[in-house]
Amino acid sequence: MTPATESGLALPDGFLMGASTSAHQIEGNNVSSDWWAMENRPGSFVAERSGDAADSFHRWPEDMDLLSGLGFNAYRFGVEWARVEPERGQVSRAALAHYRAMVRGALERGLTPVVTLHHFTSPRWFSELGGWTSPDAAELFAAYARTATGILGEGVRHVATINEPNMVALMHTLVRRAGRSSGDSPGGRREGAAAFDPAAAEPDAEVTRALIRAHRAASAALREAGLGLQVGWTVANQVYQAEPGAEEVAAAYARPREDVFLEAAREDDWIGVQAYTRHRIGPDGPLPAPEGAATTLTGWEIYPEALGEAVRHTAGVVGPHVPVLVTENGIATDDDGLRIRYTAAALASLTAAMRDGVDVRGYLHWSALDNYEWGSYRPRFGLISVDPHTFARTPKRSARWLGSLARAGRLPEAPAAAPAGVSSAG
Ligand code: GCO
């Protein structure tokens, strides 16, 4: 039980406080990836190209300096498979050196690296083989994980194999329904100009099985390396809320879209929770956000309590022996004051869950930087803004506020009433 203090919940020893990014969304010019090919295909459905992104491939030292200087002790970033293995079996020693330098750089700055091996983007050659539906997918991904141990051995402890496998499986359904080519890799909650509505699609069952196989094969490969790696994966928690009388409908809805991926984590060392908002389920299925509900730049209902509900649900499914790491939580908004209010309310719901015994090991805010939101730069999630022309980084007030919590080693208590502009509880 974590003791509460008069100024909020004292953080457990070793609690990770920081921010998250992904390779394709911030590095720039990920030219060997399937997403790059999709973005630049004539007539592409992707509204905006990633291009240079935030140029973090070159500016990662500056990113880490800022995060460390703000007071954070952890940084989640991605290793890009398409850079490490741009052609099947052809490993780039330069890419390995690049990511080893990033791991060392994080550790030198007092940032615990949390590394994601696959965050929606795949090498073009892998997608052209059929991606996760390829009969060799699990072995090819495990081989990449084995190669990546040459990076992780620099001092990484927390490694996520696949980011949001449930979103990947859902997007495969969407891509198939849209009759797009097999080379069109799915990714992200948004695809092209259209926001992705998880409620509108059923995960591709074959891809679900393939992703779980790949996760298990990669996990075995990572453990065989004997580096003491703590292996998990990060699941998009949709916080399906049953309206009265719809409990069975909601449970049936959650199962293929989330719980099957949480169950696959029961033998893992940790589970990544990624929660932003909720999805209400009525007797006939998904319901729209409540009339007049405030929404974000991604069109999601502003519902910060989703975080506490997500960690409680996740702990209930994976069991008490698999600790929770919040690897994504945040809000797409140009109103940084709202970002602070939303995050304070989200952290308060997390505090309550921790005080009720959920074993939470860290909170990594999405995102460190304003970045490429899978087809658009418009939804800004960053604690730090990035000038699209000069790539100049400017920490927002929210970055300094969240960093001050990290420095103080505390999480805010539940607000007496939800701050203005943020949904009330329930
Ligand atoms: C995802 C990813 C991130 C997103 C974030 C906001 O869920 O799509 O993990 O890449 O940018 O969740 O949508």
DSSP 255-284: IIIIIHHHHTTTTSS-EEEEE---EEEETT
Q: Which atom of ligand 1 is nearest to the CA of 381?
A: 6
With a cut of 50, list the residues of the chain below it in pLDDT: 1, 182-183, 190-195, 416-420, 423-426
Q: Which atom of ligand 1 is nearest to the CA of 374?
A: 11
- DSSP state for residue 5 in the 8-state scheme: E
Q: Which atom of ligand 1 is nearest to the CA of 120?
A: 10
pTM across the whole model: 0.93
Answer whether 166's CB lies under 8 Å from 257's CB: yes
Residue 193's pLDDT is: 31
Residue 182's pLDDT is: 46
Residue 177's pLDDT is: 72
Q: How far is the CA of 158 from the centre of ligand 1 (A)?
A: 19
Pocket test for ligand 1, best of 117, 274, 365, 366 (most atoms within 8 A of CB): 366
Q: Is 39 in the pocket of ligand 1 (CB under 6 A)?
A: no
For residue 380 the two structure tokens come to 């800004």
Q: How far is the CA of 5 from the centre of ligand 1 (A)?
A: 33
Q: How far is the CA of 189 from the centre of ligand 1 (A)?
A: 6
Q: How far apart are the first and last CA of the chain?
A: 25
Q: Is 236 in the pocket of ligand 1 (CB under 6 A)?
A: yes
Pocket test for ligand 1, best of 373, 380, 383 (most atoms within 8 A of CB): 373
Residue identifier of the C-alpha nearest atom 10 of ligand 1: 188
Q: Is 164 in the pocket of ligand 1 (CB under 6 A)?
A: yes
Q: How far is the CA of 163 from the centre of ligand 1 (A)?
A: 9
CA atoms 67, 106, 230, 218: torsion sign: positive
**Which of these is catalytic: 80, 85, 191, 328?**
328
Residues 236, 310: Cα–Cα separation, whole Å = 9
DSSP 11-22: PPTT-EEEEE--
Q: From residue 392, give the alpha-carbon distance in Å to each of 106, 337, 339.
A: 20, 21, 21
Q: Which atom of ligand 1 is nearest to the CA of 25?
A: 10
Burial class (CB in 10 A: 0-12, 13-18, 19+), 320: exposed
Identify whether 206 is a catalytic site residue: no
* Count of beta carbons in the 10 Å neighbourhood of residue 5: 13
For residue 387 the two structure tokens come to 């000038």
Q: Is 336 in the pocket of ligand 1 (CB under 6 A)?
A: no
Q: Is 370 in the pocket of ligand 1 (CB under 6 A)?
A: no
Residue identifier of the C-alpha nearest atom 8 of ligand 1: 188
Q: How far is the CA of 188 from the centre of ligand 1 (A)?
A: 5
- Residue whose C-alpha is closest to residue 234's, from 20, 25, 418: 20
Q: Is 238 in the pocket of ligand 1 (CB under 6 A)?
A: no
Q: If residue 227 lies in a helix (H) or strand (E), which one and from where to where?
A: none
Residues β-bridged to residue 281: 242, 286
CA atoms 179, 185, 377, 424: torsion sign: positive
Domains plus CATH for the chain? Answer: 15-407 (3.20.20.80)
Q: How far is the CA of 330 from the centre of ligand 1 (A)?
A: 10
Q: Is 328 in the pocket of ligand 1 (CB under 6 A)?
A: yes
Answer whether 82's CB lies under 8 Å from 35's CB: no
Q: Give the rounded distance of the alpha carbon of 59 from its chain centre.
A: 21
The values of phi and psi at residue 178, to 5°, are: -80, 0
Q: How far is the CA of 421 from the centre of ligand 1 (A)?
A: 23
Answer whether 158's CB lies under 8 Å from 230's CB: yes
Q: Is 191 in the pocket of ligand 1 (CB under 6 A)?
A: no
Residues β-bridged to residue 365: 19
Q: Is 85 in the pocket of ligand 1 (CB under 6 A)?
A: no
Bridging pattern class, strands 230-237 and 194-195: unpaired
